[in-house]
Amino acid sequence: MSDATMTGPAQSVETIQSSYLAQVQRRRLYSGLALLVFVVLMASGFHIADDRNAGGFWDGLHQIGDYPADVLSEAWEKRTELPGLIGKYYPALIETINIAAVATLIGAVGGLFLSLLGTRGLAKWPRLIPLFRRISDVMRAVPEIVIALVLIFVLGGGPVPAMIAIAIHTAGALAKMFSEVAENADLKSVEGLASTGATWSQRMLLGVLPQVAPNYLSYTLLRFEINIRASAILGFVGAGGLGYELRNAMAWGPGRFDEAAAIFILLFGTIVFFDQVSSRYRNRLTEGQGQ
Amino acid sequence: MLKIDALTKRFGDKTAVDAANITVDQPTMIGIIGRSGAGKSTLLRMVNRLSDATEGSITFEGEEITSLRGAARRDWQSRCAMIFQQFNLVPRMDVVSNVLHGTLNKRSTLATLFNLYPQADIHKAIEILDRLGIAEQAPKRAEALSGGQQQRVAIARALMQDPKIILADEPIASLDPMNAQVVMQSLRDIHEQDGRMVIANLHTLDTARRYCDRVIGMRDGRIVFDGTPEQLTTGVARDIYGAGSDFSEAATSTEIETLDRSAAEKAYA
């Protein structure tokens, strides 16, 4: 180590200063150019998009508040009916949450297997890692709504196709997140278990899962929140639940905006509720009970 | 100059610092010694206002420090530099940028985002690095440097702040003996040449004895010794470390000479 006693050819401070300044100026030039290119691309891209837009961004901009204003004013006029309407749509909400919950559960189990089979160092068949990875890529690449539309066409409308569609997407998305956690897991205990002659599933169950469980649960809870939203949206394509009622209320136009408002309130309240609950549990899982 | 009055910090029902009183009249090099967990770091962190005091006050040149908030607190922090055991640099940024971080209190976030530091500051940063003998490392990433070099970059960052006080929290605990000497000597030089106050947490007695004008001993959150290195007898040291009669100064030493000396003593015995 030459750092304790400064030896070696000593450059003068001036040389170091000027060469560092040159480096800084070069870096500033590059980042300035990058910023310029970014701004130009954003501006021109916006123009192209605006030209291709049927309505036009600037013409439509002032109308952006019209629909919410209509809904709010009508809901305010009929505000006495709101509690009754909320009660009326409550069963639909339960359906939506059920779809999300079952889909999350099935998707998480699927994601668990896909992730363990697709993680280097853990996989049972290392050669098949690319296969399992591509499977999870495909599952998360296809949007829920596309899978749901195909399944509704085959199975008919209702909550089951929606559940399957969300579960497939969840499995793909969670497999990606899970395997990133599993990659960072400490393999020493897995090796220790392997030395006792444990099978692959025993090694995973006892060596990997206890390490990654808090993170896995935390991601699953996050996914559950996302799935509630997804399940509400799938109602729009005929999968039942709150979204179905919302589409009806919106499609009927003025006169039923109070119903739309009631459904928005339910949806908003539910998402806030589950967001709060799951973030509390996620914090407890990641920071431990002591916090 | 600096007056710490009945400063107390509690974490739940545990008292980390218990009514500490320290008065410093002129820029001095002070070493705080004690076992780990004695409250040394907590004390320094309260002086820098990285953490808040539970009770008591700190005054510097008549200004109350413990009650500062927001921009006033950050202004105080810029006048009271801190050096850490683990250096606390930004590992992926180059050495000069890390030193320039000492001027952040005077810069806007936007200027920082685009890395726009004045040329005069860049020159000054490299001059400080030269003073500490590591100017040649200027364009390298901080993570590419050895521990001793990184700690000197941290000292350079502190000097860039042009502070009245430099707080050093175990500055040499992660360094080998040779680098520890270089770092301690740099701190001593800064104290002597610039007239800055230096307060260093040290866990070894002989470092405190060798480099400091005044030694403060802490045990279980209380200040149990405050005096010159000469007054620090083996009996007092045993008391500070809560050690038995088998305690000897060499036991806490990181100096190479002491290792040689104790080996030689063993050879004689």
Q: What digits encode the pLDDT tens for the residues A86-135?
A: 888 888 888 889 999 999 999 999 999 999 999 988 888 989 999 999 99
Which pair of tokens denotes residue B247? 């305690």
- Asked if B51 contacts B9 with a C-beta cutoff of 8 angstroms, the reply is yes
Q: Would A12 be classed as within a structural domain?
A: no
**Cα separation, A183 vs A207, whole angstroms:** 13
Give the per-residue pLDDT at B110. 85
| B63 contact partners, CB below 8 Å, separation of at least 6 | none
Closest-CA residue in chain B for A1?
B146
ipTM: 0.73
User: Mean pLDDT throughout B119-137?
Assistant: 92
Among residues A18, A213, A259, A237, the alpha carbon closest in space to that of A115 is found at A213
Q: What digits encode the pLDDT tens for the residues A15-59?
A: 888 999 999 899 889 989 999 999 999 999 988 888 887 777 777
> Within 13 A of A212's CA, how many CA atoms are on the CB side?
26
User: Mean pLDDT throughout A166-193?
Assistant: 91
Phi, psi of B21 (to 5 degrees): -120, 120
Q: What digits encode the pLDDT tens for the residues B195-213?
A: 999 999 998 888 898 999 9
- List the single residue in B119, B122, B179 with the smallest CB-CB distance to A4: B179
- Asked if B145 contacts B91 with a C-beta cutoff of 8 angstroms, the reply is no
Q: Would A4 be classed as within a structural domain?
A: no
Q: By residue range, what is the domain housing residue A124? A: 80-287
Please state, rounded to an integer, the average pLDDT across all residues of chain A. 85
Q: How many CB atoms lie within 10 A of CB A173?
A: 20
Q: How many CB atoms lie within 10 A of CB B265?
A: 11
Q: Is the CB of residue B133 less than 8 Å away from at least one CB of chain A? A: yes
Q: Which domains can be identified in chain B, with CATH numbers?
A: 2-86+164-268 (3.40.50.300)
How many structural domains comprise chain A? 1
User: Mean pLDDT throughout B35-52?
Assistant: 91
Please tell me the distance in Å from A38's CA to the nearest CA on chain B: 15
**Cα separation, A133 vs A179, whole angstroms:** 10
Please tell me the distance in Å from B165's CA to the nearest CA on chain A: 25
Q: Would A10 be classed as within a structural domain?
A: no
> Within 13 A of A47's CA, how many CA atoms are on the CB side?
5
- List the single residue in A1, A16, A27 with the smallest CB-CB distance to B126: A16
> Tokens 């927001």 sit at which residue?
B70
Residue B142, classified by CB atoms within 10 Å of its CB into exposed (0-12), middle (13-18) or buried (19+), is buried
Helix axes A13-52, B119-131, angle to 10 degrees: 140
The CATH number for A98's domain is: 1.10.3720.10
Among residues A127, A114, A113, A101, the alpha carbon closest in space to that of A220 is found at A101
- List the single residue in B133, B139, B145 with the smallest CB-CB distance to A20: B139
Helical (H) or strand (E) element with B17 = strand B14-24
Among residues B109, B154, B161, the alpha carbon closest in space to that of B134 is found at B154
Closest-CA residue in chain B for A23?
B139
- Cα A95 from chain centre: 21
Residues in A closer than 8 angstroms to B115, CB to CB, are: 24, 27-28, 31
User: Mean pLDDT throughout B253-261?
Assistant: 59
